[in-house]
Amino acid sequence: MSEHKAQFPKTMEQLNQLIADISQLETNIQQTHWYMRGSEFFRLHPQMDEYNEELGEQLDEIAERLIALGGSPYATTHEFIDHTGLPDEKITWNQYSLPELMQRLNDQFKYLASQYRIGMEVSDEERDFSTQDMLNGFRAEVDKWIWMVSAYLNQGPLDK
């Protein structure tokens, strides 16, 4: 087991970063789910459940890969909050319009895509191609979400 830790330390660190970030993103998506208002409510409300379902599957695969490499996934809310790069922000009714909530979500999807890119780079550097392949697939899914939410916001997927 310790052989793997020496073999893939950057990859393992980035996998834990992704665990923290996805766990926080799931909470932030749930906020969007609960606090959205407007004419698009019935269409977008169930979409948040779909995002969280997919993220839950990604999270599980990442944690299992980390364990397979000999690592220990973050597994408490304190660890997630201490390590995530995403906001842990309390929001309230009418604090954000629906487009603002969706922009917030899109910005967080873009952050997650960048974390997947980092994971792909470090796993390539450490020659852990199985992890790289897994992360590449997850990145492609998040890129699709960015494209779709950007279109809703009347933006291109690469707009800031």
* pLDDT given for residue 129 in this prediction: 97
Question: Alpha carbon 123 to chain centroid distance?
Answer: 18
Residues 97-136: tens digit of each pLDDT: 999 999 999 999 999 999 999 999 999 999 999 999 999 9
Decide if pLDDT at 5 tops 80.
no
Decide if pLDDT at 86 tops 50.
yes
Task: Confirm if 12 and 119 have CB atoms less than 8 A apart.
Answer: no
> What's the rounded mean pLDDT across residues 86-91?
94
Decide if pLDDT at 4 tops 70.
no
- Name all domains of the chain by residue range, CATH numbers in brackets: 2-152 (1.20.1260.10)
Residues 27-66: tens digit of each pLDDT: 999 999 999 999 999 999 999 999 999 999 999 999 999 9
In the chain, the DSSP E strands lie at none
pTM of the model: 0.93
Collapse the DSSP code of 27 into the 3-class scheme (helix H, G, I; strand E, B; otherwise coil) and give the result. helix
- As a whole number of angstroms, the distance between CA 122 and CA 158 comes to 23
